[in-house]
Structures are given as structure tokens and as C-alpha cells.
A and B are shown apart, each in its own frame.
Chain A
Amino acid sequence: MPAVRGDGMRGLAVFISDIRNCKSKEAEIKRINKELANIRSKFKGDKTLDGYQKKKYVCKLLFIFLLGHDIDFGHMEAVNLLSSNKYSEKQIGYLFISVLVNTNSELIKLIIQSIKNDLASRNPIHVNLALQCIANIGSREMAEAFGNEIPKLLVSGDTMDVVKQSAALCLLRLFRTCPEIIPGGEWTSRIIHLLNDQHMGVVTAATSLIDALVKKNPEEYKGCVSLAVSRLSRIVTASYTDLQDYTYYFVPAPWLSVKLLRLLQNYTPPAEDPGVRGRLNECLETILNKAQEPPKSKKVQHSNAKNAVLFEAISLIIHNDSEANLLVRACNQLGQFLSNRETNLRYLALESMCHLATSEFSHEAVKKHQEVVILSMKMEKDVSVRQQAVDLLYAMCDKTNAEEIVQEMLNYLETADYSIREEMVLKVAILAEKYATDYTWYVDVILNLIRIAGDYVSEEVWYRVIQIVINRDEVQGYAAKTVFEALQAPACHENMVKVGGYILGEFGNLIAGDQRSSPQVQFQLLHSKYHLCSPMTRALLLSTYIKFINLFPEIRTQVQEVFRQHSNLRSADAELQQRASEYLQLSIIASADVLATVLEEMPSFPERESSILAVLKKKKPGRVPENEIKEGKSPTPIANHTNDTSNPSSASGDLLGLSTPPTSQPPSSNTGVLLDVLGDVYNSKPLTNNTSNTQQNLYNPKKFVCKNNGVLFENELIQIGVKSEFRQNLGRLGLFYGNKTTFPLQSFVPTLLWSDDQAAKMSIQMKPVEPLLEAGAQIQQLINAECIDDYTDSPSMMISFIYNNLPQKITIKLPLSLNKFFEPTEMNGESFFARWKNLGSSNQQRSQKIFKANGAMDLQATRTKLMGFGMQLLDGIDPNPDNFVCAGIVHMRSQQVGCLLRLEPNRNAQMYRLTVRSSKESVSVEVCDLLAEQF
């Protein structure tokens, strides 16, 4: 038993020895229970215990608690000790209370009373004991009881330094619990001026407090900036003997320096006073200079303290992001650390460089270290350091080095630690997408990812590659070819089968000309994997097979045979059985025309933020290294909070840079569920039950005036897609209702809102749908429309259903406006203007609108919309090349109405003039109204 210091409690030491001598866990528990029984009886006994005994038993309880046992008594005895006139007893009482806080209100009242007495004591040791207890408990009751008292202690001239230090930190703790306790007004300046205090310990403690106050109210505490800079300046220019005991291993006041540098990171660089700004830059330069000096000691404490200050200075330089010179110097310094002996320094240098990579001033300087960073990723012994290297490579990646970095990451992935693979896969996928100039490269990278680390490729990644391939015609053939080759590997990952199945089902025809990848071969290749796959993939493959029947009628019987095999008990899975039998029937019953419609190529996906980025953000909230270069901040006196531009989500609006005509579509919050026309029950994702608010609906009916296919509506529960085609005065719509939840949607009823009067002008027939939409399933509803006479507006569909016992109702407009029945008409300039003149003779035949552009005037986008509107866009007819003219015929059962249109953009005024002329006034008006809303 070692010697016991101070007021040794022999009984306690004996007890601890006993515990240590216990040979087994059981023996220990037995000994403890014996002791607990003993203490309980002592506390309950008639004989009053003296202070010493109470102290001893309370201490034993504390020890038992620290061994990991629960303690549910002794609080009262501990509280009694607080009012003891013996310091050692009081101190143990406070310790017990601090460690085993009990919120029993009666006790709290007693504790508060004792603390009040001690706070009023003339002995600073007692006062500090009380302050430490308040800080250790730090509860709301404490804040309420002492919120008034402590600020007075802090700024009073009579208070001793040691008490001031405790008071500052005690106040900080209470402020964190209860931010309203800090008085404003004159207190502000008195608190700020603690930065000038003689006593270094007081300044250190006060700086922590001020840092927290500034975060809450930067404007009010702005005065601290110049004081902090002055104080910092005095420290960094001090020699190590100046500060005596506040010099730590030859480094002057490292703790205070770091705190001051932190404090300054709450503000943008001081601009109002160029003197302050200059002094701060001098300090930062001095710190950078010192880093180059030979060390004053070989001890690690010296280098740690010195580098702690250096790293904090670099953080401030990065935060200010305004001095190119300092940023580049910081980067060079960190570059040296990358090959330092100390693992800790390499780790921090990599981390810090991540931030430098996002500054426009230092991004290039960081890139110079690319080789070393790649080596770190490959060679570091510690996975956390390798992880930092990966983060940095991600942050420093841009157009110029993307191919190399992505390649290196792919190489490393083959041997990378399991713990970081998934994240690396996401990063590679994001970089490849973001910096792809050639989408064949992108396809190669993703397929490589699946090959190398298939298990770590989340569904978002393979969804995304399919979305991109579907949206980009030029890469479809290449994707089909590459995926076909990849599937030929004897063992290939199931994710490869999924991507392969999907892509060949859509674009297999593009490579079918080659004998080596004939329809027959494609089918056999895919089907050879079928038995090795999970039900979800099998379901996907069955969908691919039915698409094959449409694409390649020549292998129809072969595919049907497979459906037949799986439509019976051989498929243990009900969904697979059902799919197989339904597809089989579809292939038998449906005519080639119907098949071609049902299995038509997928429509483009709406462009949106890569869902992969969302996954990465979710994986590491608050710590995703960014891959966006920010512009430098010009110095402004405004506090950081109000003009911080580093919001990661705002920077990622158009990650792909492939927004073809900009649409006014709101960013979708959901992560691209593939619109699988054939439904996919394995794909359901967990959803919150909260349906009433915060749902971001995707619904913009106006867009569908100029568009026939796409996602018509989407919220958390349901996705409604539409495909439509029109011929003469007839139209056919397919609505696809997809249940996005994990619950069935019951009493599912779509109702058409289209009055009889209106129906006399356009008649609509719709097929009924099943009233139950299973979780994750999708159903289709076919609608036929016939235009009889011209009409205004378009019909709506009200969809009602019950989700999780809550009735839901959604009303959407159907894309059935009058312009859908346009037939485009080609004509030359001469006949156009002849008719134009002719139709213009009577006011009744024309309609005109002049309106302000709704957003930026993008003529390319205007063009796209006009083409989607249904009329023929006639180029080279209007003498003004900016103007658009169009011609078309509206088909109705009763008649046909010829229609001409002219749209004149005025860029200077940001206005459009739209004129529509037709042989029927109501048509002119409706066409004009419909189109005017589009721009």
C-alpha cells in the first residue's frame, strides 16, 4: 500500500487494498456489497457519526461508484459535509456532489445554501471550492441561483486573481447551460477589458469566456478584436524568459496564444482599423517565421506547444482567406510537415491542407504536394492518417488532376482498409461525375469501382450511373458495350449484374449488330448470372428480359420459356413468380405496338444534385471535406456569422454542370429513386411518418405544357410519372403511381375533375385502378382523351388514399392542354407572312401579350420550350434572328384550326411580346395564355 498523502483515511485505504486483492469479479462484488451494507447501517444507526466518519464513508461510496457500481444513497450525508467547518470534510462533500449529482430538489436547495455561504467566505480557497462545484454541476438551477452573483465576482476590483479565473470559467459553464444569464450593457466592456489584465491566468480563463460570448453576439463584443491582437502581439514578440511560469517548454504562453487566435476566428479580418490588421498580419508572420527557426529543445512538449500555436495561426489565416502571401506560406509549411517523423504532425498537416485546398489563393499551392499525399494514402501505417490523405486528395481534386487522382484512388481501393472503403467509393463516384468531360471515362470509373469494391458500392452509386447513361445519348452505346464486356468475367459482382441488366435492357440494341454481342448472347450472358443473384436483382433481370422481347423479337420464344419456368413454384419468391407470369402474359397477349409503348425507352431523369453527395454528407455530418473552391473574402468589418459563404449545400446546386436548358424545377430533396415503369418492390426505403409538413413536393404543372413525359408530381409518399402521346385529335396518357413508402397506400382512388361542359369539348376515358398500392410498388393507369372542340385549361386528377391511417389527397393537373393537339406545319417565309397578314386583318383572330421575362432570358431554353409546345419552329423567316415564329394546326373532331405565332424577346427590357393569330379567336387566346406562362 503506498503512502497516503495529507489526511490519510486509513479505513479507505484498507478497503481499496481489499478490493485490489480480490481474486475474482464475484469476490469483488461480495466485498463491495458487504461494505455497502456496513455503510448503510452506519448511516441509519442511532449513534451519530462524526465528520471524519461521514467523510470516510462518503469517500468509500465514491470509490465504489467509480468502480462502475450504482450508488443510490449517501447524498444527504455528503450534503451535511458541505457545511462542515473542516476543509477536508467540506472538500469531500463537494467532490461527492460533483460526481454524483442528484437532482432531488430538496437536496439542491441545501446544496445551493451551502454554496452561497462558501461564496461569501473571506477565504479564497472556500470561494473557489464553491465555484468549482457550480461549474461541475452546471445545471439550470445553478444558473438561476448564481447567475447574478458570479459576474460581479468576475469584474470586481476586490476579487483575487485565482477567484477571477474560476469565476470566468464558472460563468462560461453556466452560460452554456443558460445563455440568458450574461448581463449586457456596461458589463460588456468590463468583461472585454479582462483581456488587458495583468495576470496571465486571468486572461487565459477570460478569453475562453469571451470566445463563447462572441459566438452568441459578435457585434456587441467587437471591441475585443483590437485588444486580442495587442495581447497576441505582446506574446509572440516576448522572449521565453519574459513570461516566467507561463512559458511552457520555451514557448511563451501557448494556451493563451491559441485561445486568442481562436477568438479572432469569430470575425472577418479587421478592416476598420488598418493598424490592427497590420499588427495581426505581423503576428501571423512572426509565428510562421518561428516555425523555421531551429527548435529550442528536443523535447516533444516543445515542438507540440510551438506547433499548436502554428496550426492555430494557420487556421486563422485560412479563416481570413484574404492574404495570398500568408496562405501560400502556410501551405509550404504544412508541406514540410507532410514528411515529418511525427505521425501527429503528418495527420494535422493533411487535415489543415484540406481547408487550404478550398481557398482560391492556395488551391494551386496545395496541388504541388499531390505526389506526397498520394504516397501518404498508400504508405501510412495508421488508417486515420490514410483517411486524412484521402480527404485531402478529394479536396484538392479539380479538372486538371481529376483523372490522375481518381486513378490513384481506384488503385488504392483494391487494398484499402475496410473501414474507409465505402466512403472512398462515394468520393471516387462524386469526383468522376463532377469532373467528367468525357462520359466514357465516367462509365469506366464506375464500372471499375463495382469491380474492385462491389460490396461497398451503395445503391445510390449504381442508380446514378444509370441516370447519367439514360440522360446522355452519346455514352449509351459505349456503356452497353463496356458493361457487356464486364459481365463476361467469370465472377462478377451482383452490382455489376444490376447495372448490366438495366443498361442492356435499355440499350442492348445498340450493340446487337455485333455477332459477339447478339441478342442471343446478351440474353444468355445475363441469364447465366440469374441463379447467383438475390431476389431483387432477379426481379430486375426479369424486367430486362421483357424489354428484350420488345427489343429483340427474334429471341422471344427463348425468353418466354424462362418466364414460364419461373412463373410457377420454382420461384419461391412471390414477387418473382408474379413478375414472371405477368411478363409472360404480356408477351403473349400484347401486340408489338402495345409492347413497344409499354417498354419504350426510359424518359430522361430530371437533373438534380447527385444523390451520392447527400449520402456522403449524411455519413459525416459537419465533416465532409469540401471539393469547392471558395472565393477569397474581402475584408469587411462585419462579423463572420453574417457573411459566411461556406454553406456546402449552396455550392452544390449544379454539380454536374450539365444542366441543359435551365428549368425552374425546385431542387428535389429525395435521392433519385429510379422510375422503374415495371415497379420494384425490393427497393423501398424507410421513410418518416411525418407527412404533414416539411415535405418538399415536386410539382410544376406548367412545365408539362411543353413536355409530354416525366415526373409529374413527387412527395415523400408518392411519385406520379406520366408518359403521353398524341396523334391528330387523340391522346393517350399513362400515369404511373409509385408508392415510395414501406406501407401500402389503401383506398387508392384517382378521380377526374373535368365537368360535363368541359367533357363535351374534350372527352376523357380512364381505366380504373386497384384500390391498393402496395409498399414500394407502382401501378399504371391509362387515360384516353379526344379533343372535340377547343377548350381552355386542362383537366385535373384528384388522388385520394390512406397512408398509415391518415387520409391524403393530392390534386394534379394533367398534361392535356389544348396545344397537345397541335400538328406542326412546315412553311416558307413567303407563305407564312401571307397568312400572317391575312389572319391579322381582324382583331378577333389575334391575341397578344407583352410580359416581363420570368427569370433570366435564355434564348436557347426558349427555343427548347417552343419546340416542346407542339408547333413547328420556323427558322430563318423572321428578319430579326432573335425572334421566333411558329406554325401549327390544332386538331379537333369538329374542325382544324391553323395557328401562327411570333415571339419577340427584348433583352434590354427583359420583356417578351407574344402574338398568336389563328382562324378562331378562342384558340388564339388560349394558345397565347398557355405559352405566355412559360417564359
Chain B
Amino acid sequence: MQFMLLFSRQGKLRLQKWYVAHPDKLKKKITRELITTILTRKPKMCSFLEWKDLKVVYKRYASLYFCCAIEQDDNELLTLEVIHRYVELLDKYFGSVCELDIIFNFEKAYFILDELLLGGEIQETSKKNVLKAIAAQDLLQEEETPQGFFEDHGLG
């Protein structure tokens, strides 16, 4: 996989993960053009498209589009299920996930994605195992004593 993008129906980018090195300018250009292309497609259309020299797989969940660019010989149907597995994981972790959860907890969304995919390849397909890993991380955090609560309050 070359990259994964999450964006809203309004075309706002919510998450981006790049597995190939591109300059920021190019990333922005690709993102902008791809979002426009996908948003103009009708609901019943095919989830796959040839876009420039990329194979793109996308799927819409509620107000969010999940979009992956994959290699020529990658499996399109299974990429749809990578997306679905990621959605399931977010859903399980946040409890019925919505776009806001991803906006306010974007770092968590990244951590979960890093457990599912590494370097653009699937790392762990078992839902149970990924959730176990995330839970272990959260446990480490809870051992830390909360600090800065007062300093933070209202100061922003």
C-alpha cells in the first residue's frame, strides 16, 4: 500500500498515512486531486479506480471516506477488508466510532493503524490481537500519575 487517507464528505482530510516518501507538496497535490475525484463519484459505482498510475480502493462509512492507494498487483477486494478491519477496530476501541472521535483522538487513530499496518503491509489481521496490543499501551499510560491537570485547566 502506498498511502491511506481518511476524509469527510465535505472534503476535509481527517487522517493521512504515507508509506512511500513524497515531498509535502506532492502529498498535498495528490490528496486534493484524489479527494475531488472520489467525491464526484456516485454511490453505486465501483470501489476501485485507476487514477494516474495508481490503483485506488475506497469505501464510505457514514460521513467518512477511507481511501487506499495500492500497488498494481495488490488485491483490491482484500484492501476493502483492510479498511473494514480498521473501521471495526476503531469502532470497538471508541465504542461506535464517529468522525468526531477521530478528530479529537487522531493520535489514537494513528496508533491503532500502526498496529494493523506496518510499512504499508498488513501486520496483524486478528482483531483480538490488535485490541490486546492497544489495551497494553493504554495500561502503561494509566500507570503514569496524571500531571499538569491544574496547569492545563482553562489555559489551553
Chain A residues close to B by CB (< 8 Å): 1-2, 4-7, 9-11, 13-16, 18, 20, 50-53, 56, 59, 62-63, 66, 68, 70, 86-88, 91-92, 95, 99, 125, 128, 131-132, 135-136, 138-139, 162, 165-166, 169-170, 172-173, 176, 200-201, 204-205, 208, 245-246, 248, 253-256, 258, 262, 265, 301, 304-305, 307-308, 311-312, 343-344, 346-348, 381-382, 384-385, 387, 621-623
- Which B positions have Cβ atoms within 8 angstroms of A? 13, 15-16, 19, 21, 24, 28, 42, 44-50, 53, 72-73, 75-78, 80-81, 84-85, 93-94, 98, 100-101, 103-108, 110-111, 114, 118-129, 133, 136-138, 140-142, 144, 146-149, 151-153, 155-156
**Could you tell me if A68 and B13 are in contact, using CB atoms closer than 8 angstroms?**
yes
Q: Is the CB of A95 within 8 A of B45?
A: no
Check if A245 sits within 8 Å of B127, measured CB to CB: yes
Decide: A53 near B75, CB < 8 A? Known: A125-B140, A170-B119, A208-B121.
no
Complex: how many Å from CA A464 to CA B152?
Answer: 75
Residue from B81, B121, B128 with most neighbouring chain A CB atoms (10 Å): B121
Q: How far is the CB of A87 from chain B (nearest CB, A)?
A: 4
Q: How far is the CA of A254 from the CA of B84 in the complex (A)?
A: 14
Distance in angstroms from B65 CB to nearest chain A CB is 16
Whether A52 pairs with B147 at a CB distance below 8 angstroms is: yes
Q: How far is the CA of A136 from the CA of B133 in the complex (A)?
A: 18
Q: Which residue of B16, B106, B152 contacts A10 across the interface (Cβ within 8 Å)?
A: B152
Q: Is the CB of B144 within 8 A of A86?
A: yes
What residues of A have a CB within 8 angstroms of the CB of B140 in the complex?
87-88, 125
Whether the Cβ atoms of A170 and B46 lie closer than 8 Å is: no
State the CA gap A95–B107 with chains docked (Å).
8
B81 in contact with A308 (CB, 8 Å): yes
Offer 19 A-B interface pairs, CB within 8 angstroms, sorted by A. A2-B104, A4-B105, A6-B141, A6-B142, A50-B148, A66-B15, A128-B133, A136-B114, A165-B123, A166-B118, A201-B124, A245-B126, A246-B126, A301-B81, A305-B77, A307-B77, A312-B75, A344-B76, A384-B48
With beta carbons under 8 angstroms apart, the residue of B121, B141, B155 that contacts A11 is B155
Cα-based distance from A501 to B152 in the complex (angstroms)? 82
B28 proximity list for chain A (CB < 8 A): 68
Bound-state Cα–Cα, A410 to B73, Å = 32
Q: How far is the CA of A18 from the CA of B126 in the complex (A)?
A: 38
Q: A6-B138, A343-B44 are in contact. Are A308 and B78 (CB under 8 A)?
A: yes
- Shortest C-beta distance, A17 to chain B (Å), equals 8
- Tell whether, in the assembled complex, residue A200 and residue B48 are in contact, meaning their CB atoms are under 8 Å apart: no
| Contacting pair B107 A92 (CB below 8 A) | yes
- A7–B107 alpha-carbon span in the complex (Å): 11
* 16 further A-B pairs in the complex, CB-CB below 8 A; given A52-B152, A135-B119: A2-B100, A6-B141, A10-B153, A11-B152, A50-B147, A66-B106, A92-B107, A165-B123, A170-B118, A173-B120, A176-B119, A201-B129, A204-B124, A301-B84, A347-B46, A384-B45
* Given A5-B108, A87-B137, A384-B45, A169 contacting B78 (CB threshold 8 A): no
- Report whether A305 and B106 are in contact in the complex, using a CB–CB cutoff of 8 Å: no
With both chains docked as a complex, state the minimum distance between the C-beta of B134 and any C-beta of chain A, in angstroms.
10
Taking a contact as CB atoms under 8 Å apart, the answer to whether B24 and A70 are in contact is yes
Interchain CB contact under 8 A, A381 and B45: yes
B153 touches A246 (CB 8 A): no
- Least CB separation from B78: chain A residue: A308
Tell me whether A622 and B123 are in contact (CB under 8 A): no
Contact A173:B137 (CB < 8 A) given known A11-B156, A68-B13: no
Q: Which residues of B contact A70 (CB under 8 A)?
A: 24
- Chain B residues with CB below 8 A from A301, complex form: 81, 84
Q: Is the CB of A623 within 8 A of B44?
A: no
Q: How far, in angstroms, from A136 to B122 measured CA to CA in the complex? A: 14
- Min CB distance, B79 to chain A, in Å? 9
Residues of B within 8 A of A262 (CB): 73, 75
Q: When the two chains form their complex, are residues B122 and A255 in contact, meaning their CB atoms are under 8 A apart?
A: yes
In the docked arrangement, what's the CA distance between A50 and B151, Å?
11
Contact B47 A165 (CB under 8 A): no
Please, which residues of chain A bring their CB within 8 A of the CB of B49? Answer: 384
CB within 8 A of B121: which of A9, A169, A307?
A: A169
In the complex, what residues of B have CB within 8 A of residue A9's CB? Answer: 152
By beta carbon, the residue of chain A nearest B155 is: A11
A165 and B124 form a contact (CB under 8 A)? yes
Whether the pair A5, B46 counts as a contact (CB closer than 8 A) is: no
CB < 8 Å neighbour of A344 from B47, B98, B119: B47
List A contacts of B108 (CB < 8 A).
Answer: 5-6
Verify B126–A201 contact, CB threshold 8 A. Answer: yes
Q: Within 8 Å CB of A136, what residues of B?
A: 114, 119
Chain B residues with Cβ below 8 Å from A208 are: 121-122
B136:A125 contact, CB within 8 angstroms: yes
Complex: chain B residue closest to A162, CB-CB: B133
**In the complex, how many angstroms separate the beta carbon of A101 from the nearest chain B beta carbon?**
8
Q: Select B105's contact among A5, A20, A170, A381, beta carbons within 8 Å.
A: A5
Q: Is B77 a contact of A311 with CB atoms below 8 Å?
A: yes
Q: Contact at A169–B13, with CB atoms within 8 Å?
A: no
Q: A932 → chain B, closest Cβ, in Å?
A: 52
List, in ascending order, chain A residues with CB within 8 A of B45's CB: 343, 381-382, 384
Q: How far is the CA of A248 from the CA of B148 in the complex (A)?
A: 43
Say whether B123 contacts A169, CB under 8 Å. yes
The answer to whether B118 and A169 touch across the interface, beta carbons within 8 angstroms, is: yes
The answer to whether A53 touches B106 (Cβ under 8 A) is no
In the bound complex, residues from chain A placing their C-beta under 8 Å from that of B84 are 301
Complex CA distance for A101 and B10, rounded to whole angstroms: 29
What residues on B are CB-neighbors of A170 within 8 Å? 118-119
Residue of A nearest to B105 (CB): A5
* In the complex, chain A residues whose CB is within 8 Å of the CB of B126: 200-201, 245-246
- Name the A residues within 8 Å of B127 (CB-CB): 245
Take A52-B147, A381-B45, A384-B45 as given contacts and tell me if A258 and B152 are in contact as well, using a CB distance cutoff of 8 Å.
no
Q: Which of A4, A63, A255, A348 contacts B125 (CB 8 A)?
A: A255
Closest 7 CB pairs of A and B: A173-B119, A308-B77, A52-B148, A87-B140, A308-B78, A245-B126, A169-B118
A15 CA to B152 CA in the complex, in Å? 12
Out of A16, A307, A381, which one reaches B103, CB within 8 Å?
A: A16
Q: Which residues of A contact B48 (CB under 8 A)?
A: 344, 347-348, 384
Inter-chain contact B106/A205, CB cutoff 8 Å: no
Residues of B close to A88: CB separation below 8 A: 140-141, 144
> Does the CB pair A245–B75 fall under 8 Å?
no
Task: Find chain A residues with CB under 8 A from B128 CB.
Answer: 245
Contact check: which of A20, A135, A139, A254 meets B118 at CB < 8 Å?
Answer: A135
State whether A1 touches B104 (Cβ < 8 A): yes
From residue B105, how far is it (CB to closest CB) to chain A in Å? 6
What CA separation (Å) do A258 and B53 show in the bound complex? 23
Question: Are A201 and B78 closer than 8 Å at their CB atoms?
Answer: no
Would you call A66 and B16 a contact (CB within 8 A)? Answer: yes
Question: Closest CB of chain B to A423's CB: distance in Å?
Answer: 12
Identify A343's interface contact among B13, B19, B46, CB under 8 A: B46
Residue in B closest to A253 when the chains form the complex, CB atoms: B125
A56 CB, nearest partner CB in chain B, Å = 7
> Are B133 and A205 touching (Cβ within 8 A)?
no
- Within the assembled complex, what's the spacing in Å between the Cα atoms of A20 and B8? 14
Residues of B within 8 A of A258 (CB): 75, 78
| Bound-complex Cα distance A215 to B45 (A) | 35
Complex Cα–Cα for A51 and B146 (A):
11
Given A53-B151, A301-B81, A343-B45, decide whether A623 and B119 contact each other with a Cβ distance below 8 A: no
Collect the chain B residues with CB atoms within 8 Å of residue A204's CB: 122-125
Do residues B125 and A246 form an inter-chain contact, with CB atoms below 8 A?
Answer: yes
The listed residue with most A CB atoms (<10 A of its CB), out of B76, B111, B125, is: B125
- Among B119, B127, B142, B153, find the residue whose CB has the most chain A CB atoms closer than 10 A: B119
Contact A125 B103 (CB under 8 A): no
Q: Which residue of A lies closest to B128 (CB)?
A: A245
Q: How far is the CB of B119 from chain A (nearest CB, A)?
A: 4
Q: How far is A621 from B100 in the complex, measured between Cα atoms in Å?
A: 41
The answer on a CB contact under 8 Å between A2 and B101 is yes
Smallest CB gap from B82: residue in A = A255
Nearest Cβ on chain B to A567's Cβ, whole angstroms: 49
Contacts of B44 in A (CB 8 A): 343, 381-382
